[in-house]
Amino acid sequence: MFSDYTHVLRAVPVSENGYFNWRKRGICQRKQDDRQLTERIEDAFHENRGVYGSPRIHAERKEQGIHCGRKRIVRLMKQQNIMAKRRRQKAQKTESTHPFPVAPNILQRDFTTDAPNQKWMTDMTFVATSEGWLYLAGVLDAYSRKLIGWAMGKEHDALLVKQALQMALLQREPGADLIHHSDRGSE
């Protein structure tokens, strides 16, 4: 028994009586309460498919008559590495009911061509990232099927399409007979 605590007494400057009194006391009431509350937090978290964060769990505990601060719940959730899943936001899409004039569809879905720089197509898409949505505008040459201009950004706006088109124009320098096609809504 002597060897069990001598290394503790050497490492931490406490008296022998203080060490034995600490061992007899056991876990304090606050830590016991934290353990019980942590179990209830974990139960609520898993019952709600991992989407409940501290505000909802706090409200649920309050409804059950368990009174504790939200910051305490935040602390306990952090200690257990419990984090609510974030809902994915839907990406902003092209507004197809806008009041702007719509150009005629000259291509009529005929994307074949005999030479480069005769028909270009433009479109936008979006990619979910850990930081939010990333919007991508691209210009494709119908002849080579290569991406000849592109732009990326956090906003779904006409500026991206213009930047992608500017890149394509600078790289290719097409003639006046170029047909530039885009979906309704893209510029």
> What tens digit of pLDDT does each residue of 163-182 get?
998 999 998 888 888 887 77
Instruction: Write the pLDDT tens digit of every residue in 142-168.
Output: 888 889 899 998 888 888 888 998 999
In the sheet that 132-141 helps form, which strands lie side by side, from edge to edge?
147-153, 132-141, 119-129, 179-182
**Sign of the dihedral through C-alpha 51, 53, 57, 59:** negative
The single residue listed with the structure tokens 């991508």 is: 136
3-class SS of residue 51: coil
Contact predicate 55/70, CB 8 Å = yes
Q: What is the mean pLDDT of residues 110-117?
A: 80
**Which is more confident, 95 or 69?**
69
Tokens of 52: 């409940």
pLDDT at position 75 is 93
Q: Give residue 92's pLDDT.
A: 59
Residue-range domains of the chain with CATH: 2-79 (no CATH), 88-187 (3.30.420.10)
Burial (Cβ within 10 Å: 0-12, 13-18, ≥19) of residue 86: exposed
Confidence of residue 10 (pLDDT cuts 50, 70, 90): low
Strand ranges (DSSP E) for the chain? 119-129, 132-141, 147-153, 179-182
The model carries a pTM of 0.47
